[in-house]
Amino acid sequence: MSLLQQLQTKRKALKATTTTVTTESGKRFIVANATTSTPIQQQLQAQSYGFVVDTKPDTTPACILADFLYLGSQDAVNSENISAYKLTHILSVGIETPLLDSDKVVRHFLPCLDLPETLLSAHVIPAANKFIKSAELARGRVLVHCNAGVSRAASIVIAYLILVRGMRYDAAYTLVKSKRECIQPNVGFIKQLKQLKLNDV
């Protein structure tokens, strides 16, 4: 029996399955894979974005540097946290700052896609460091956030620790990871962060 025949025999023994696929544009399909028929697609109601809906709000920011630098998700941007942590600055990376009641908070938005090919050093890191340093000079407290506080915002905080505070990548990553265990910069960001040195950007 040839390899092709073996594969065809095994395919016939597989159970029929259905999988929900969400594209980058937010379109959702049920893809039915039956062993005896051509796969069919049934389109579901389109979502506004192509990402998993967060059903567990992550409202507590992590304090990375005492009484100054905080890291969190978009859920951490609320009036309660502004008051509790005495936040004066909010840096939103890749996602607009949620609407706030307080107009005393200095806000800044940086466009940034969470993709390995996104170049952080070209614009994102310099602009982020400038904003974070302005908060420090004003003796304020800054919260850096993205959608989940896992990749983009974590990368910005690590870059700040390397370029402004003079830490090596491993030490900066370990510090941030110890304060916010869920961080996981994408592979492209990690590669870029490992190449950073003090005074690079």
Positions annotated as catalytic residues are 146
Q: What's the CA gap between 143 and 84, in Å, rounded?
A: 12
Gyration radius (Cα) of the chain, Å:
22
CB burial string 117-142: b at 16+ within 10 A, e below:
ebebeeebbebbbebbeebbeeebbb
Residue 90 buriedness (CB in 10 A; 0-12 / 13-18 / 19+): buried
Residue 141 near residue 85, CB atoms below 8 Å: yes
The beta strand positions in the chain, using DSSP E, are: 17-22, 28-33, 40-43, 62-65, 69-72, 89-93, 106-110, 142-145
Residue 75 near residue 58, CB atoms below 8 Å: yes
Q: What's the CA gap between 8 and 18, in Å, rounded?
A: 20
- Whole-angstrom CA distances from 167 to 153, 154, 173 are 17, 15, 9
